[in-house]
Amino acid sequence: MTIRVNNIVLDIDEDMSLVKEKALKKIKLKEKYVESFKILRESIDARKKDKIKFNYTVEVNCEKESKVVSRANNKDVKLEDTVYRDEIVFGNKSLDTRPIIVGMGPAGMFAGLIMAEKGYKPIIVERGQKVEERTESVQEFWKSGKLNINSNVQFGEGGAGTFSDGKLTTRIKDVRCDYILEKLVEYGAPEEIIYKGKPHIGTDILKIVVKNIRKRIIELGGEVRFNSLLQDIVMEKGKIKYAVINGEEIPCEVLILAIGHSSRDTYTMLYNNKIFMSPKPFAIGVRVEHLQEFMNVNQYGKYANHPRLKAADYRLSYTSKATNRAVYSFCMCPGGDVVAAASEEERLVTNGMSYYKRDGENANSAIVVAVSPEDFQSNSPLSGMEFQRHYEALAYKTGGGGYIAPLQLLGDFLKDQKSSRLGRVKPTYTPGYNFADLRECLPKYVVDTMKEGFMDFDKKIKGFAAEDTILTGIETRTSAPVRIERNENLESISVKGLYPAGEGAGYAGGIVSAAVDGLKVAENIMKEYKPGI
């Protein structure tokens, strides 16, 4: 058990060393009795822009903790036991084959890491390249428009999150979240991610972390195969028997399917094998860009660019009165770029990316509108996937081909007219852009909902709907368009031995939640099977 102390408040110019002093004052404990002290969370309270404060939660370990908490008699002082313990009680069944993990994104990577640590020697197969080579392929695509359909912003070591902002925020409450953050720090992430209220790594540091985790898995006896595509699965008597990878049939009793939300050919293969899936809601829209300095001043007032403050972010949402649909900001990237994120020929999709320092000139986020199976063209489990494809193809055509993005200023978007010149904000998207009418590549109800949403957002952040705000089309990969149904053991309801995991399976939304789901799946396998083959 540990003591958790909440609501330790510092003014923006107070030194962080005061956090410990104020915490010990709350629990009425002298420092000489403290065995360990750790900051768990730091958040910024900027509701009053002339009086910005920091709020901390800390963990204190000492002797007779229950007595200390009782004596403090303070609602902000509590006993906690929320540490994730990776002490697995192994099952008694034997595996004749090594576990196979498909995908080296967060779910597959953390499933692979914990299984390697426990002696299972997993084989991880990844259709894309290792992160060093993948970076070169992505840079070539952004420069020339030459797309590698198997190794790009969506596919490759680290998953889609590797070329994003590296956000580590999550809405799930699971003790595994802290474990994930601690592991990321162990393999190269900055220690501050453990306590920051809105932690992020940035694409530059995330690449280092991913590479280090891969090396550790290999050191522990695991294997990571790149440029290795899962083409088929072979089943016998309701159990998985082989995984067909690059034409080779590999014997398999346990397969973790951590494929990511853009593995459309794999979804099709699963559908053809009668693996039960359901279409699920997601959201589509555009990327919006403002000057980061505008956001800093708007959010922090006179404290904009204060050394204690990072680039300002935002989170916005609204429900349209006309369409009754939610519109909201998604994957906000302070000081970042809008990037080309296609994974299929002649289909265009954008994403946001930033580096650890978040020191770019622009702020960007997706502004997206919720869509559901009722909006899709059929009852097929793959109908949401085809919905995405349809609008991505329209975006490609609207931009003029060559992965040139369709772009429109917000003022013109609201007036239903094509833009002719830029204002203060300059687009960051490469390979390039053409002015276009975004109504040509988005459903009318999405356009109408976004228009209403922008007007509401402008009331919350004055100037958000400025005429020269840039809209770049389109964003479609907010989450998986399908859910691969699984039972209480996190196993496919269609075949024994197949374990759908992470965002691509429809059970997560972001780096941390996907990693947590990967851990949970690995735990369930280890509780059934003992290590070694």
Averaged pLDDT, 505-530:
96
pLDDT tens digits, one per residue of 405-438: 999 999 999 999 999 999 999 999 999 999 999 9
**Which is it for the CA torsion 239, 243, 244, 250, positive or negative?**
negative
First to last CA, the chain: 38
Task: State which H helix or E strand residue 523 sits in.
Answer: helix 511-528
> How many C-beta atoms lie closer than 10 Å to residue 532's C-beta?
11
Give the chain's domains with CATH numbers.
2-80 (3.30.70.2700), 100-277+482-528 (3.50.50.60), 282-475 (no CATH)
pLDDT bin (cut points 50, 70, 90) of residue 9 is: very high
**Which is it for the CA torsion 138, 143, 149, 154, positive or negative?**
positive
pLDDT tens digits, one per residue of 331-341: 999 999 999 99
**Residue-level pLDDT at 86:** 76
- 431: cis peptide before it, omega within 30°? yes
Averaged pLDDT, 106-125:
97
**Residue-level pLDDT at 170:** 84
Report d(CA 513, CA 353) in Å as an integer. Answer: 19
> How many C-beta atoms lie closer than 10 Å to residue 402's C-beta?
14
**Residue-level pLDDT at 169:** 86
Mean pLDDT of the chain: 96
pLDDT of 151 above 70: yes
Contact between 102 and 108 under an 8 Å Cβ cutoff? The reply is yes
Distances (CA, A) of 386 to 257, 322, 344, 444: 21, 26, 12, 18
Averaged pLDDT, 507-522:
96
Closest by CA to 8, choosing from 48, 32, 43, is: 43
Q: Report residue 136 as tokens.
A: 């070169």
3-state secondary structure of 26: helix
pLDDT of 84 above 80: no
Q: Report residue 329 as tokens.
A: 């900001």
Contact between 471 and 410 under an 8 Å Cβ cutoff? The reply is yes
DSSP 141: H
**Residue-level pLDDT at 533:** 75
- Which residues, other chains included, contact 171 with Cβ-Cβ below 8 Å and sequence gap of 6+? 513
3-state secondary structure of 107: helix
Task: State which H helix or E strand residue 331 sits in.
Answer: strand 326-333
Averaged pLDDT, 163-177:
87
pLDDT tens digits, one per residue of 344-364: 999 999 999 999 999 999 999
- Give Dmax over CA atoms of the chain in angstroms: 70
**Residue-level pLDDT at 287:** 98
Burial zone of 63 (CB within 10 Å; 0-12 exposed, 13-18 middle, 19+ buried): exposed
Contact between 65 and 2 under an 8 Å Cβ cutoff? The reply is yes
Contact between 365 and 384 under an 8 Å Cβ cutoff? The reply is no
Report d(CA 486, CA 494) in Å as an integer. Answer: 8
Averaged pLDDT, 4-9:
96
Averaged pLDDT, 164-184:
89
Report d(CA 36, CA 416) in Å as an integer. Answer: 60
pLDDT of 451 above 70: yes
Q: Which of 8-22, 162-176, 183-197, 346-360 has the lowest mean pLDDT?
A: 162-176
**Residue-level pLDDT at 197:** 84
pLDDT of 532 above 90: no
**Residue-level pLDDT at 82:** 65
Report d(CA 430, CA 145) in Å as an integer. Answer: 9
pLDDT tens digits, one per residue of 251-273: 999 999 999 999 999 999 999 99
Percent of the chain at pLDDT > 70 equals: 100
